[in-house]
């Protein structure tokens, strides 16, 4: 599935960027609404207002993404930048940790290097290309993750 979604996002990045942003907007809206109903059940506690306020912020963020998709795309691009750097570092460390245990550990390291490189590209160029670049980087990341998992799942040669 990672490979399929990755290829689809790479082939149609403009459409995929809007789909990703709108999908996340609706998730935030549903999360906020559900959380507000959840917070209502805690009205007997003094802190219920803090819980309700945090879910209201999530609801407002989702609504903002829905109403202002350009701003949502920008925010998501910055979040992806940070996520790619963190994922890259963790994948590299994880792959190196598995170096003595799995024969295809280098693929995990390569996926981590790919994520880190994508984060660096976003850092340098996201203001000019954020309309289509978000989907492209998510697509490449999904593709590299899917390929590394596929290769990692191959049986060990004797």
Q: What is the pLDDT along the chain (158 residues), one digit of tens a residue?
A: 888 888 998 888 888 888 888 999 999 999 999 999 999 888 888 888 999 999 999 999 999 999 998 888 888 888 888 998 999 999 999 999 988 888 888 888 998 999 899 888 878 877 767 677 778 878 888 898 888 888 888 777 65
Provide the token pair at 127: 């203001």
157 is a domain residue: no
pLDDT of amino acid 138: 80
pTM: predicted TM-score of the whole model, two decimal places: 0.65
SS3 of 13-73: the string is: HHHHHHHHHHHHHHHHHHHHHHHHHHHHCCCCCCCHHHHHHHHHHHHHHHHHHHHCHHHHH
71-76 LR contacts (CB < 8 Å, sep 24+): 72/21, 72/24, 72/25, 73/17, 73/18, 73/21, 73/130, 73/131, 73/134, 74/130, 76/20, 76/21, 76/24, 76/134
Q: How many structural domains compose the chain?
A: 1
> Residue 128 is part of which domain span?
2-152
pLDDT of amino acid 35: 93
pLDDT of amino acid 158: 57
16 is a domain residue: yes
158 is a domain residue: no
């Amino acid at each position: 599935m990672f490979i399929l979604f990755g290829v689809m996002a790479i082939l149609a990045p403009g459409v995929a960027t809007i789909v990703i942003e709108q999908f996340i907007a609706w998730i935030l809206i549903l999360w906020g609404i559900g959380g507000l109903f959840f917070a209502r059940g805690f009205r007997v506690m003094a802190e219920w207002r803090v819980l309700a306020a945090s879910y209201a912020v999530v609801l407002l963020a989702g609504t903002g993404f829905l109403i202002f998709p350009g701003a949502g795309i920008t925010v998501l691009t910055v979040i992806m930048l940070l996520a790619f750097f963190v994922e890259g570092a963790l994948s590299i460390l994880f792959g190196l940790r598995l170096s003595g245990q799995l024969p295809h550990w280098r693929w995990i390291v390569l996926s981590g290097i790919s994520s880190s490189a994508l984060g660096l590209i976003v850092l340098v160029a996201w203001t000019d290309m954020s309309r289509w670049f978000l989907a492209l980087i998510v697509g490449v990341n999904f593709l590299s993750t899917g390929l590394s998992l596929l290769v990692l799942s191959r049986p060990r040669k004797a």
